[in-house]
Amino acid sequence: MEVLYLYSIFESYVRRHVAEIQQTKGKEPDILDKIKKNRSFARVVELYFAEHAKWPSLKSQRWDELDELTCVRNCIAHSGGVVLKSKQNQKIYNLERRLWKGQPVGLSILRINGNDIGEPIIIDPPFLEYCLDLLEAFFRDLAEASNGKYNAPKAVIN
């Protein structure tokens, strides 16, 4: 459940931020829904910032990681956490093998003879820390891009 909650915060704040950007440009605030076209939310946001907002983009590795988090969220929400049933199971299998801070990310899948047996994902505490670290980095990068795009004039003190 924690993964769904963290992801919900990510998606809600990104949607709100995009709507604010769109409003300042006098454009439609629900643009993310219009450019979705079978893309994950992370890929839609990547496309929006690159092509519509024309902001400096995050590193491609960061987008890949956000895309994998989207896949985990979708697997939990739509497939009961069973990776074998997920449309994007290969991305989740890749994430399971990733190391973060020298340790596994904390996502595991029950296997027999190396094969997924169709049980729900096991999420250990390090995975939540990984998610928090990933989202913190995303929002920090977003804030830097936002500050670069909308530099507020410096106050002049006489």
Query: Could you tell me if residue 156 is inside a domain?
Result: no
Closest residue by Cα to residue 46 from 68, 67, 72? 67
- Residue range of the domain that includes 109: 2-149
Task: Report the run of H or E that residue 104 belongs to, with start and end.
Answer: strand 103-104
Query: Could you tell me if residue 37 is inside a domain?
Result: yes
Distance, CA of 121 to chain centre = 18
**Structure token pair of residue 117:** 């047996």
Query: Could you tell me if residue 155 is inside a domain?
Result: no
**How many domains are there within the chain?**
1
Block means of pLDDT (10 residues each) for the chain, length 158 residues? 90 91 88 89 91 74 90 94 93 94 95 96 94 91 72 49
Cβ atoms of 104 and 110 within 8 Å: the answer is no
Query: Could you tell me if residue 42 is inside a domain?
Result: yes
Query: Could you tell me if residue 53 is inside a domain?
Result: yes
CA distances to 5, 34, 65, 69 from 82, in Å: 18, 29, 20, 15
Query: Could you tell me if residue 157 is inside a domain?
Result: no
Query: Could you tell me if residue 158 is inside a domain?
Result: no
Query: Could you tell me if residue 92 is inside a domain?
Result: yes
Report which residue type is found at 121: I
Full-model pTM: 0.83
Going by C-beta distance under 8 Å and a sequence separation of 6 or more, which residues neighbour residue 113? none
